Amino acid sequence: MKYNTYRFYKDKYNLKTLHLKLTDSKIMFLIYDEKYNYYYLDHSITKENAKVDILDKIKELNEHYHLEITNFYPVCYCDKTLVIALKTEISTNVDDKINSSEITEKYQSLISYHKNNYSTLFVSANVKKEISMSQKYINRYRFHERILKRYIFTKERRRKQEFHDLLYQLLPIGNSVIDVSCGDSSDIFVIAAKKKYKTIVGNDICLNYLNLDRRKNIIYTNDDVELNRIKKGSYDVSFCKNTLHHMNNITNINNMLDFLDTISNTIIIVEIMNPKEYKGLPRFLNKYLYTKFLKDVGSCYLNEEQFTSLINNKFKKNCIEYYTFTNILGTYKIAKIKKEGE
């Protein structure tokens, strides 16, 4: 999608402006690896216009320079240039590699700012494991998406139309929505498009998932949502499906809920209930399909009592509606949370 990348990040993110004029371009890519080697700082491929599609750019760089870019995120502004970081696997095949110790004085301030403020991004054990599993087993996810969902866990068996009908009722009239952990799911995208939302954002920490089912008119981001850099009230609605059980613990879940409350006026949470407390197919699928085959790292499952208690305690002053949905995969609890006056 040829959206205005520069304007999107300007409108939605809290980013510092460094008083450095490094280029006349609207967007500059800061490419680095896990050992903080930096690449192509003065090369033309790092400079783009305001409407560059970041996922397309990453594909181009990966193919042409044999990179394995795993993450992207906005860093700051240098004068009026938006700096977007691209994190890559350590590579020995890249021409013009520049070690940070050899960076010219022109870039020292930017490099220092990046190291000081983003060195902990995508490095927590849980996040690194999520990303690593998505890279290592991406073909299994493709098989799941293209074969298992199509021929075994069909839309009819998953009651997809009924679920979409429910989402249509829950999604309020608005202009902007973000799916904070979209994975390979496009549920909210379909409904938001029907309701004529102008800004539809799909976010996931695993870059590979963003490419599994790319859709037109969707803005894709690659943020770790626990590190909140999105402006307060940026979205009318935040959507969170099957994300809570991927948190490390209840503290991390509460951090996630705080994040959703900060960035949006209405929150819709869809969470599968602990499959280990159910007999039959849901328990079997969790153990053998999701855990053993797809290597899903989610482990912080909640039951219905835990889910409602958590939501009630966190959003005491808000209007909360609960719904239950069941299909072949299990039982889901849905919470719609609206701020007073919305």
pLDDT digits (tens, 9 = 90+) for 229-266: 899 999 999 999 999 999 889 998 999 999 999 999 99
Bridge-based pairing state of the strands 176-179 and 199-203: parallel
Question: How far are the Cα atoms of 166, 196, 208, 212 from residue 141, in angstroms, in the given order?
Answer: 26, 30, 10, 9
Please give the Cα distance from 294 to 284 (Å, whole number): 13
pLDDT in tens, 263-301: 999 999 999 999 999 989 999 999 999 999 998 877 899
Residue 90: how many CB atoms within 10 A of its CB? 10
Is the model's pLDDT at 43 over the cut of 70?
Answer: no
Domain with CATH 3.40.50.150 in the chain: 126-338
Bridge-based pairing state of the strands 17-18 and 69-78: parallel
The overall longest dimension of the chain from CA atoms, in Å, is 63
pLDDT in tens, 108-167: 899 899 999 998 787 777 777 888 888 888 899 889 989 999 999 999 999 999 999 999
The first and second tokens of residue 152, run together, are: 């075994």
Bridge-based pairing state of the strands 235-241 and 176-179: parallel
Task: Name the CATH superfamily housing domain 126-338.
Answer: Vaccinia Virus protein VP39 (3.40.50.150)
The first and second tokens of residue 194, run together, are: 């029907």
**How confident is the model at residue 330, as a pLDDT?**
96
How high is the mean pLDDT of the chain?
A: 89
CB 180 within 8 A of CB 240: yes
Alpha helix (H) residue ranges in the chain: 5-12, 54-65, 105-118, 125-136, 138-143, 160-170, 187-194, 207-210, 250-263, 281-284, 304-314
Please give the Cα distance from 280 to 275 (Å, whole number): 9
Q: How confident is the model at residue 332 (pLDDT cuts 50, 70, 90)?
A: very high
